[in-house]
Structure 1
Amino acid sequence: MTSRPNIAKRPPKATAAQNPAAHPLADEVRPGQSVELLKELHILTREGKLNQDSRRKLKQVYHLYQFIEKLMLELPAAEGRALTLADHGAGKSYLGFILYDLYFKNLPTSHLYGIETRTELVDKSRALAQQLGFGRMSFLNVSVAESTQSAALPDQIDVVTALHACDTATDDAIAFGLQKKARAFVLVPCCQAEVARHLSQSKALSLTRTPLAELWRHPLHTREMGSQITNVLRCLYLEAHGYQVTVTELVGWEHSMKNELILARYTGQRKRAAAQRLRAILEEFGLLALLDTRFTLPEDNLEDNALPA
């Protein structure tokens, strides 16, 4: 009777759970990222696969996350206080959940707040946070403007985000952050119509007799000009309130025309020159009424003892 050859058994292949690098999405999904979350957000299919559209969406989210992570890592340590972030116009809370999964869940005393007006989206986000065990996520069913008065939010918020918050909601998020003494802003403005309306009404009185009036003669140009002026004013406004501002692209223009990313970090040095330029632009374009609403300047920026630019 012949004996069977002694064939050594091959070691079993490492599973994704045992070795994250063995996961078929290892090159796409960040270490420690919850695959269950990505499925619930419909970034991954139920089979755990990633199609081309989802791959592009995931890269965009990670790209934005890198900006926010860098800002949060640069914040001075808050002694005895949790790191807090308020995400305005949260929608389905893609950004909030990714931020929590990759960053906040590793900070035991941190808290992330999602602010959204659509009740059904708030309910879904609350249910998903509970399902995933994301206990330090809260969702408020209020507008950005109403959130400044909400007792559910702490007196101070470290980071304020607002992605594609339409028209004046971005300005409301800035007002919220200033009231809450935010240490950083991450803003992707969208659909700025307020300044365009003012331009249409006043036609920038001081410029109507110059060739510059051609910049808003056609309605489409008025809208685009209004968006550009609005974001310039927002940057000057933040600088006047003591923030260092950087403006960059969020993603390639081929993906979205609403692509301007405004990053602001608090330094405490209020720039009088920024306040003066803001006022001059408002005056030049016949928009001085906005000084009493959207762009109220700090008093010390208008006095002789203001900090130099």
Structure 2
Amino acid sequence: MKTLEQDLPELRPGQSVELLKELHILTREGRINQDSRRKLKQVYHLVQFIEKLLAQVPDAPGHPTLADFGAGKSYLGFILYDLVLRQRAEGHVYGIETRTELVERSRALAQRLGFGRMSFLAIRAEDAASESALPEAIDLVTALHACDTATDDAIAFGLRRKARHMALVPCCQAELAGWLRKEKAQALSRTPLAELWRHPLHTRELGSQLTNVLRCLYLEAMGYQVTVTELVGWEHSMKNELILATRTGQPKRAAAQRLRAILAEFGLQGLEVLRYPGLQ
């Protein structure tokens, strides 16, 4: 097995090797396996995108503020802090995760490493928008592989707090596929387009694609400029779509109209109140 220097030539100067060991990305001997390397590559790529977004945030006391949804073991939050915020005098990372044991573990690790401007909240993603422990002014909302509707909750939070930026890598989009399955018989009798989701595999894939298209339209309708790109090569992850959104404060009426038209075309009008309540 290769040494750390050979295996991770992209390791940045001053990066905490101890952190990577604590996250079990590296072994105690400083070595790395292929699965950990793949995970780290995804996080590194997302950090590079986030750095560019944070460079646009004006200097102000307490900023930048970052909210990490579906944080899990907080790989992204810790590495963001280590690479981006640790050298700054200001800024705070908030990790949002439902599993209490992971939150407690992250709190202990942050204390052990002296990462004082990190907080971890054991709350549901859908409750974060009304959580008083989170600041009203959020500069960036991120979610790396937040499952199913957790990405929608991250978007709802970002809209509620008027986040400057969002960086989202959705995962396991199942909700919309369930709606398509429920209405499949009626849709097949109504339109030949229903052939796109007649077979279960197509239902799942189309549901995933459609979910992200609707999310992008919603963000545009709510005053965000949206870019969609790949996070890393497909050989590293099948959940690879990165949605970047920057607040312009100029809602696009055409995006709202198209979103509603797509919902109507696919018989999904019931989703508007549930997922897109801010549409004008």
Matches of 1:168 and 1:214 in 2, distance apart?
Answer: 25
Tell whether the 8 Å contact from 2:38 to 2:236 is kept in structure 1 after alignment. Answer: no
Structure-to-structure mapping, 1:249-288, within 5 angstroms: 249-288=230-269
Q: Cα–Cα, structure 1 residues 298 and 91, in superposed 2: closer, same or farther, change >3 Å?
A: same
Matches of 2:70 and 2:158 in 1, distance apart?
Answer: 14
Q: What are the Cα deviations for residues 110-139 of structure 1, in whole angstroms up to 9, with x where unaligned?
A: 110000111111111000000000000000
Corresponding position of 2:117 = 136
Matches of 1:291 and 1:25 in 2, distance apart?
Answer: 47
Letter of the structure 1 residue corresponding to residue 14 of structure 2 = G
Within the candidate set 144, 153, 173, 2:154 is matched to 173
Shift of 1:216: 0.8
Tell whether the 8 Å contact from 1:160 to 1:184 is kept in structure 2 after alignment. Answer: yes
Within the candidate set 214, 220, 223, 1:242 is matched to 223
Shift of 1:205: 5.0
Matches of 1:208 and 1:246 in 2, distance apart?
Answer: 36
Matches of 1:209 and 1:146 in 2, distance apart?
Answer: 38
Within the candidate set 115, 135, 142, 2:96 is matched to 115
Structure-to-structure mapping, 1:89-128, within 5 angstroms: 89-128=70-109
Matches of 1:157 and 1:33 in 2, distance apart?
Answer: 25
Shift of 1:55: 3.1
Structure-to-structure mapping, 1:21-170, within 5 angstroms: 27-75=9-57, 77-170=58-151
Shift of 1:54: 3.0
SS in 2 for 1:49: coil
Letter of the structure 2 residue corresponding to residue 271 of structure 1 = K
Q: Cα–Cα, structure 1 residues 118 and 112, in superposed 2: closer, same or farther, change >3 Å?
A: same
Answer 1 or 2: which has greater helix percent: 2
Give me the identity figure in percent: 72
Shift of 1:206: 6.1
- C-alpha RMSD over aligned residues: 1.9
Q: Cα–Cα, structure 1 residues 85 and 213, in superposed 2: closer, same or farther, change >3 Å?
A: same
Letter of the structure 2 residue corresponding to residue 249 of structure 1 = E
Letter of the structure 2 residue corresponding to residue 283 of structure 1 = A
Matches of 1:66 and 1:197 in 2, distance apart?
Answer: 35
Structure-to-structure mapping, 1:209-220, within 5 angstroms: 209-220=190-201
Tell whether the 8 Å contact from 2:187 to 2:194 is kept in structure 1 after alignment. Answer: no
Structure 2: give runs of 5+ residues left out of the alignment: none
Shift of 1:24: 6.6
Tell whether the 8 Å contact from 1:206 to 1:284 is kept in structure 2 after alignment. Answer: no
Q: Cα–Cα, structure 1 residues 204 and 154, in superposed 2: closer, same or farther, change >3 Å?
A: farther
Q: Cα–Cα, structure 1 residues 54 and 255, in superposed 2: closer, same or farther, change >3 Å?
A: same
Tell whether the 8 Å contact from 2:220 to 2:226 is kept in structure 1 after alignment. Answer: yes
Tell whether the 8 Å contact from 2:50 to 2:167 is kept in structure 1 after alignment. Answer: yes
Q: Cα–Cα, structure 1 residues 47 and 232, in superposed 2: closer, same or farther, change >3 Å?
A: same
Larger radius of gyration: 1
Q: Cα–Cα, structure 1 residues 27 and 173, in superposed 2: closer, same or farther, change >3 Å?
A: same
Tell whether the 8 Å contact from 1:164 to 1:190 is kept in structure 2 after alignment. Answer: yes
SS in 1 for 2:208: helix
Matches of 2:185 and 2:134 in 1, distance apart?
Answer: 40
Shift of 1:294: 0.4
Shift of 1:164: 1.5
Q: Cα–Cα, structure 1 residues 36 and 289, in superposed 2: closer, same or farther, change >3 Å?
A: same
SS in 2 for 1:276: helix
Structure 1: give runs of 5+ residues left out of the alignment: 1-22, 300-309
Matches of 1:54 and 1:149 in 2, distance apart?
Answer: 35
Matches of 2:96 and 2:130 in 1, distance apart?
Answer: 13
SS in 2 for 1:148: helix
